Chains A and B, each alone.
Chain A
Amino acid sequence: MTEIVIETRGLTKYFGDYCAVNNLDLSIRRGAIYGFLGPNGCGKSTTMRLLTGLLTPCAGEVRVLGNELPQQAEALRRKIGYMTQKFSLYDNLSVMENLQFVAQIYGLTKRQSPQRIAQLLALYHLEDKQKVRAGALSGGQKQRLALAAATLHEPPLLLLDEPTSAVDPENRREFWERLFDLSDAGTTILVSTHYMDEAERCHGLAILELGQKRADASPQQLMRQLKASVFLLQGDNLRQLGKQLAPMSEVISTAQIGNTLRVLLAPALAEPQQWLQRQLPGTSLQRVEPNLEDVFVATTGVGYAKSAQN
């Protein structure tokens, strides 16, 4: 199961002068759930569109399921399911009508499609919503419908662009259960997100910033490999301490979390704990294992880290 399903070399896309995807190398195995994690505008959607053949790359090579893009985009269409960031089914058609439409477009036969649709309605808990117009569904229901539509023709590759942006945590878990089912069955899934908990579930993860890949490994590896050190501070004047530390060049970021202040220190420091204690005499501090958010903040540079504090 080490077959490579998606491979890109130097993938680049410009919109005018703006470089939305910059020299991206990807290599994604069959059956993996692979995440794109990154702030708004970092090029997640653009990358997905490049991988589906919706956009033509300005430079670089793309091979998806053995098809060279953009030349063989048409051959790829039957083999992928794409769930767009914005709901792209028809608001004024019912759940059932939408699914029937998609089934016909994908060429399911009259025999196959009722079975398949019934199966999907049950799987995504939409049975009692069959006759409801898609526009009247809740955010989570819409996303389940979109996933049902994207998987209707059982494609070996799924591209999901922020599939759970309007979904509550409970439904998000449920949604991910379905993704793992699909992955188990051999479907490769590409999913973009800016939720850490979601990114943490992926088998592989690319952290994108300004169209560039900053890191690419499994979430566990990324956390283990993080060179920056993480400390939790406790005390009375956390706001004050945070303001004091933030401008220092040794400090990557500070973030208040309830009664603690989480401080990320640059890897260059030889003895980070002593250094920090020296800056803040009398404050209790404790070194902790980095989590994915720390990895994200440390790898995506200062701009985002500073803005995340506010």
Chain B
Amino acid sequence: MPSLRRINAIMFKELRQLARDRITFAMIVMIPLIQLVLFGYAINTDVRQVPSAVVDLAGTAQSRQLIYDLEASQVVQFSHRFDSVVQAEQAMTSGVVAAVLVLPADFQRRLALRQQGVLLQPVAQWITDGSDPLLSGAVSVLSQLPLTLQGIDSSNNPAAVMQVVRYFNPEQRTAVNIVPGLIAVILTMTMVLFTSAAVVREREQGNMEFLITTPMQPLELMLGKIVPYIAVGCIQTGIILGLGHLLFAVPLPLHWLSLLVVTLLFILASLTLGLIISTRATTQLQAMQVTVFILLPSILLSGFMFPYAAMPLAAQWLAEVLPATHFVRMIRAVVLRDAQWWTLSYDVVYLAGFTLVGLVIATLRFKKRLD
């Protein structure tokens, strides 16, 4: 039977040590703060002002009007002007521009024919740097603009075949999507690292040799180590959501209880992951390396940066194993879509199961021996 007194002893000892470790203590606050500001401001998938070149072989009033209208869309910025396509290609190869608009000499004629419905071919050409799909994708949207002899006619937009209504993030701001996902990344990093390091540190500094000759049980040690970091995880979540709301107008969740449930589940899952690592790693550096090993797929595959739906099946399976994937899904649902936690039962059950199984594995793997 685990003794509450011993769990308490380990917990308070851990808290004391944490409070006295100034750098770690500062990191608890600084990591979410800095990352939030960096990610929130810097990451934007809404592409604007792509540096572009124009090769205007027509040189007519209409061609100049088109260039002007395109620039007004703010998607591209024509920083260079070339007389030949070859020159423009060179500029693209050297990375000066990412897109080139070529207006042929008979631009005027083509446009007129097209307007009469005689010509179905395009009237101009975009050459884009396909090595960055995000940029070239943004530019290719421009090819769909309704073009007339009078310039781009946005008022006379032909009715779309299908209407798109944007729920939850109508302005399509990236920060709204990034900020809740950032909780997953930061918690993965800090929770896994803190617990694994907290156990490994005892081994590294020789405390473990004493501790395991006492009546302390593995489960007591594990629980005592986990509990203080649950509070740390909650504080970090609070910082990210609070600041995300202040700086980036990310909505606050409607159902706070759901937020608490999904966050606690993820914190617990991450902490047990840290414990499992700690049963294997013998130095804090090793613990750190394994954490990074888990952190990278958690950033790249969890859906935090790139849409889960776009990943190949094998990557999706791998992503499903990571607690971060389930949490990214749930926290976005709870914060952005005001979902209730019980509607997310698949992810809830997965994280709860992960924690339970992880705790059992960590406890069994933890030997009260040195060999």
Contacts and interface: CB of A to CB of B under 8 A. Distances in A.
A54 B370 contact: yes
Interface string B330-371: 000000000000000000000000000000000000001111
Contacts of A82: 210, 213
A87 B209 CA distance: 10
Given A90-B13, A93-B13, A104-B8, A84 B206 contact: yes
Interface residues of A, number: 31
Contacts of B5: 104, 107
Interface stretch (A72-80, A184-192, A206-214, A239-247): A72-80
A49 B210 CA distance: 11
B45 interface: no
B90 interface: no
Given A105-B9, A107-B3, A89 B210 contact: yes
B73 interface: no
A11 to B, nearest CB: 14
Contacts of B211: 88, 105
B330 to A, nearest CB: 37
B215 A92 contact: no
Contact of B214 (A55, A92, A100, A106): A106
A52 interface: yes
B140 interface: no
Contacts of B207: 88-90
B114 interface: no
Interface of B: 3, 5-6, 8-10, 13, 16-17, 20-21, 205-216, 368-371
Contact of B215 (A87, A105, A149): A105
B13 A101 contact: yes
Nearest to A109: B5
Contacts, number: 76
Nearest to B221: A105
Given A78-B215, A80-B213, A91 B16 contact: no
Given A54-B370, A88-B209, A102-B214, 17 more contacts: A70-B369, A78-B215, A86-B206, A86-B209, A88-B206, A88-B207, A89-B207, A90-B17, A92-B16, A93-B13, A93-B17, A97-B13, A97-B16, A105-B6, A105-B9, A106-B214, A107-B215
Given A55-B371, A105-B216, A107-B215, A92 B17 contact: yes
A269 to B, nearest CB: 46
A159 to B, nearest CB: 9
Given A104-B9, A107-B3, A56 B209 contact: no
A53 interface: yes
A56 B367 CA distance: 12
Given A55-B370, A92-B20, A106-B215, A101 B9 contact: yes
22 contacts: A53-B369, A54-B213, A54-B369, A55-B370, A73-B368, A73-B369, A74-B215, A77-B213, A77-B215, A82-B210, A84-B209, A86-B206, A87-B206, A88-B206, A88-B208, A88-B211, A91-B205, A92-B16, A102-B214, A105-B216, A106-B214, A107-B6
Nearest to B19: A92
Closest 5 pairs between A and B when the two form their complex, measured CB to CB: A104-B9, A88-B210, A86-B206, A82-B213, A88-B206
B298 to A, nearest CB: 31
Nearest to A77: B215
Contacts of B9: 100-101, 104-105
Interface string A102-124: 10111100000000000000000
